[in-house]
Amino acid sequence: MTNWVYTFGDGKAEGDAAMKDLLGGKGANLAEMSNIGLPVPPGFTITTEVCTYYYDHENTYPADLEAQVKTALAQVEKTVGATFGDGDNPLLVSVRSGARVSMPGMMDTVLNLGLNDVTVEGLAKQSGDARFAYDSYRRFIQMYSDVVLGVDHYNFEELLEILKEENGYIMDTELSADDWKELAQAFKKKAEEELGRPFPQDVHEQLWGAIDAVFGSWMIDRAKTYRRINGIPSEWGTAVNVQSMVFGNMGETSATGVTFTRDPSTGENAYYGEYLINAQGEDVVAGIRTPQNLTKISREKSGSDLPSMEESMPEVYGELADVFVKLEAHYRDMQDIEFTVQKGKLWILQTRSGKRTAKAALKIAVDMAEDGIITREEAILRVEPAALDQLLHPTLDPDAARDVLTIGLPASPGAASGIVVFTADEAEELAKSGQKIILVRQETSPEDIHGMHAAAGILTSRGGMTSHAAVVARGMGRPCVSGAGALRIDMDKKIISVLGRTIQNHETLTIDGGTGEVMAGEVATIQPELSGDFGKLMGWADEIRRLKVRANAETPLDARTARDFGAEGIGLCRTEHMFFDADRIANVRQMILAEDRAGRMEALAKLLPVQKQDFIELFTIMRGLPVTVRLLDPPLHEFLPQQQEDFAAVAEATGSSIEQLKFRADALHETNPMLGHRGCRLGISYPEIYEMQARAIIEAALEVTKGGGASIVPEIMIPLVGSRKELEILKVKVSAVADEIIGASGQKLDYMVGTMIELPRAALQAGEIAKEAEFFSFGTNDLTQTTFGISRDDSASFLDDYIHAGIFAQDPFVTIDQAGVGELVKIAVDRGRATRPEIKLGICGEHGGDPASVEFCHGIGLDYVSCSPYRVPIARLAAAQAKLKE
């Protein structure tokens, strides 16, 4: 018989932390916490296998599930000493979802389940607080109606507002027990009106309704969106946790809170939490009341005059601190903990590894490794490589003038400027057209996720540091300022008023998620400074990884940045990028528009000294490291003059007429330039171009190494090769030039000649091509284009359709397509090595800086990856992780 239900509580559990796949993250952790003796309200978990069964069997359950739930419920009743549905001493439960990985706010939750007209009296009796009992009852009716029965919560909030108005109340706390009782009855009636049938009084009907709702919510749109963004397979399913209720809203000795054992923004080793007295947990997370600090020191820092928990409940705080220590030691990671204090007794409701910023992840990992809590290898695995991006990008220039409108909570670090947009849909739409967006909301909800994803930054007027906006923004790496209460946001008129000033729709704002500042206009930014932790972790990663990491760079600035970020050479120097300067382009145009070889030679003679000077600078910066220089690659017409004055400039330089030049420019137009006369095809047609470039490279290398010292081994790379013969012909020409110059110089210089593998045919013919090539560099941008038959420039019109339809799990230009492009790369690696075992193999497409792709490159045995300078640290870390995951 399959065990569909696992109990926990009372110092023991049927499951444990290792059973996340079956029990979900929350269920596994509740079991684990029970096992280590923490005060967990007893309950049981219905497994993720039930969810799978449910969707495989037209939304029905296994036959034996009901009996197992009954048995588990009886055990909880026995432990708690209360009975589900009992009029005197009723057991109340919460019903929560719990997937394998945390999906904050995505799944529905029902609290206080088990209340009806009879049990509410028992609760009043047991708690000695009728006000609390009826408040709980009306909360339950509202939540259950909303989540399970589909009656919008606004229906109920309206009734509360009316009652308050009629009685002249301002605050909820002014309502009496009778008021809440009256409201509960009104809520029931409202639900019946909306549903056409009475609100369920049978507690078992309530329970199964809630279980259905949890499983049903796995397939609602916002859950699917979250899974899509975060790459979570829908086959995983969710578990359901049914747990006895504890109450943080039983008066002034009760409280509820959420805490991180370390600061999730900075990684500082200090408790970082919020609590509310006399409140239920949802009040903290939903951001409806602004919560109080957990510790005295944080209260003082924030300048709050509301007492911290450390001050107001010193004893319970002490117990809680012990739990923090115990949990962090047990899980060996920073924990995100939900707790409730019921009449002075502490209950732990949930623990999980806390989401954190990249900066925090880095500091926590390094601190824990240095404290011996985890190993260096574990520390390396704890930091998400892609998240490093946050640390490597600009922040606001401290010296720049700031027109600060107000200061909110520093909810997610980083700075962003953009135009103000008020809805998630508009944010997504405008972001697609390339606009930078600041999404402004009173508070965010799961329905806003797509807009938050599209935005450069998020600003809310309500909610704390653990509000939805803050948690989600940190997870996404988006800067966020939350709870900026001075903002008055008019959603209809799309205007923000702040202290007498107004910000119109689409005006530009800047936010600093590290300080909470909200500023008018755009504020200048500066390069990030990296902490010592960064250097330490990178050092540990470098000791582990096998893959070398190079950078794609051609300017001295990029090359220096790359070296600073630890690049071990240049994997791709795109020589055409050196041609776009205003003072060079005329000569390039002259070369392209030349009618014959003589005309081209004349223009090339002018380009040679500047090209050589470029290489001298580059080689000087990269001394001692390999530099791969790709010869001219793009379609010639990319360089063509567009404006009349550009034509005139070339006409003057060459003595040709403008009409002649336009005629020639027309002749160079191509229908599909990506598949046209480019790459080595130019080299075959006009060998003098590659000969000039070879000369510039070799002369520069000789110049740089003339005085001795660290050498340069230029790797001359021929692009877009599809057959051995192409490479053979061009290698002969390039080598002839190189050997002649080296011979005449009297110096010694090694150089290599190799090729890009960026066409399917090149991958298939790699065995033949390797007879000529001393190295392969996989140009996976072009290889992705040709393997899929998709132009990167033109894919935008259908890429979204493709991702939505589930055809692409992710953009194949971002993460390498292992099934197609990856197979071709593997074929090329195998065939290339079979011919020339010592062949050097690397990748220089954008994928070189994508962690999943780096792992793939490690797995198939490449020698190095090459990526943009800012991605070098990401690649270094990803390479180390790939090695550790082997």
Q: By C-beta, is 435 or 781 nearer to its own copies?
A: 781
Stretch 580-639 residues interacting with its own copies (CB under 8 A)? none
Q: Does 677 help bind its own copies (rule: CB under 8 A)?
A: yes
Backbone angles phi, psi at 399, to 5 degrees: -90, -10
- CB closer to its own copies out of 610 and 729: 729
Q: How far is the CB of 203 from its own copies (least distance, A)?
A: 43
Beta-strand ranges (E) seen in 362-478 are: 395-396, 403-407, 409-412, 415-421, 437-441, 457-460
CB of 594 to its own copies, least distance (A): 15
* Other CB atoms within 10 A of residue 312 CB: 15
Residue pair 400/512 in contact (Cβ under 8 Å)? The answer is no
Quick check: 693 and 718 in contact, CB under 8 A? no
Burial of 671: CB neighbours in 10 Å, binned 0-12, 13-18, 19+: exposed
CB of 866 to its own copies, least distance (A): 21
Q: Shortest distance, CB of residue 447 to its own copies, whole angstroms?
A: 24
CB 879 to its own copies: min, Å: 26
Q: Which of 728, 794, 718, 793 is nearest to 759 (CA)?
A: 718
Judged by beta carbon, residue 200 or residue 683, the one nearer its own copies is 683
Which residues are annotated as catalytic?
468, 844
Taking each helix axis from N to C end, the angle separating 872-885 and 851-859, rounded to the nearest 10 degrees, works out to 50
Applying CB under 8 A, does 676 fall inside the site for its own copies? yes
Cα separation of 135 and 141, whole Å? 10
Out of 3, 527, 798, 885, the residue judged to bind its own copies by CB under 8 A: 798
Cβ nearer to its own copies, comparing 219 with 807: 807
**Which of 852, 782, 841 lies closest to 818, judged by CA?**
852
Pair 770, 832: CB distance under 8 Å: yes
* Closer to its own copies by Cβ: residue 307 or 767: 767
Whole-number Å distance between alpha carbons of 856 and 417: 35
Determine the straight-line distance between the first and last CA of the chain, rounded to whole angstroms.
36
Asked whether 23 and 45 are in contact (CB, 8 A), the reply is yes
Q: Name the residue nearer to its own copies (CB basis): 63 or 805.
A: 805
Task: Decide: 352 and 29 in contact? Cβ < 8 Å.
Answer: yes
307 binds its own copies (CB under 8 A): no
Chain-centre distance for alpha carbon 299: 31
Stretch that binds its own copies, among 26-34, 219-227, 378-386, 665-673 (CB under 8 A): 665-673
Helix (H) or strand (E) holding 515: none
The backbone torsions φ and ψ at residue 458, rounded to the nearest 5 degrees and listed phi first, read -130, 135
Residues 634, 636, 640: CA angle, nearest 5 degrees? 125
User: Using the rule CB under 8 A, which residue among 235, 793, 838, 886 binds its own copies?
Assistant: 793
Q: Are 835 and 826 in contact (CB under 8 A)?
A: no
59 lines the binding site for its own copies (CB under 8 A):
no
**H helix and E strand count, the chain:** 35, 34
What is the nearest approach in angstroms of its own copies to the Cβ of residue 786?
A: 5
674, 713, 814, 884: residue in contact with its own copies (rule CB under 8 A): 674
User: Taking CB under 8 A as the criterion, which residues in 763-792 touch its own copies?
Assistant: 764-765, 768, 782, 785-791
Q: Applying CB under 8 A, which part among 77-85, 240-248, 570-578, 667-675 lies near its own copies?
A: 667-675
Q: Can you tell me which of 685, 736, 830, 885 binds its own copies, judged by CB under 8 A?
A: 685
Question: Which position among 614, 726, 846, 855 is part of the footprint of its own copies (CB under 8 A)?
Answer: 726
What is the smallest separation between the CB atom of 753 and its own copies, expressed in angstroms?
A: 17
Look up residue 708 and give its two tokens. 């001795």
Spatial distance between the Cα atoms of 682 and 690, rounded to a whole number of angstroms = 9
Q: Which residue has the tokens 């019921």?
A: 342
- Dihedral class, residue 23 (left if φ above 0, else alpha if ψ from -120 to 50, else beta): alpha
Which strands sit side by side in the sheet containing 345-353, from one edge to the other? 292-293, 272-277, 255-260, 335-342, 345-353
Quick count: other Cβ atoms within 10 Å of Cβ 556? Answer: 13
Q: Which is nearer to its own copies, 397 or 576 (CB)?
A: 576
C-alpha 396/C-alpha 402 separation (Å) is 10
Subset of residues 704 to 723 that bind its own copies, contact rule: CB under 8 A: 720, 722-723
Site string for its own copies, 727-766 (x = CB under 8 A): --x----------------------------xxxx--xx-
Contact 861, 822 (CB under 8 A): no
Instruction: Give the separation between CA 712 and CA 124, rounded to whole angstroms.
Output: 83
Instruction: Please state the closest distance from residue 646 (CB atom) to its own copies, in A.
Output: 20
Site for its own copies in 178-217 (CB under 8 A): none
Footprint on residues 88-147 left by its own copies (CB under 8 A): none
Size of interface with its own copies, in residues (CB under 8 A) = 48
Q: Which is nearer to its own copies, 476 or 682 (CB)?
A: 682
Q: Does 794 bind its own copies (CB under 8 A)?
A: yes
Closest contact distance (angstroms) between CB of 809 and its own copies is 10
Q: How big, in percent rounded to 5, are the helix, strand and coil portions of the chain? A: 50, 15, 35
Alpha-carbon torsion (779, 780, 785, 789), positive or negative: positive
Query: Residue 491 or 807: which CB sits closer to its own copies?
Result: 807
Interacting residues with its own copies between 799 and 838 (CB under 8 A) = 801-802, 805-807, 817, 819-821, 823-824
Select 643 or 671, whichever has its Cβ closest to its own copies: 671
CB of 728 to its own copies, least distance (A): 9
Query: Which residue's CB is nearer to its own copies, number 660 or number 723?
Result: 723
**To the nearest whole angstrom, how small is the minimum distance from the Cβ of residue 510 to its own copies?**
32
Instruction: Enumerate binding residues for its own copies (CB under 8 A).
Output: 670-677, 681, 684-685, 720, 722-723, 725-726, 729, 758-761, 764-765, 768, 782, 785-791, 793-795, 797-798, 801-802, 805-807, 817, 819-821, 823-824
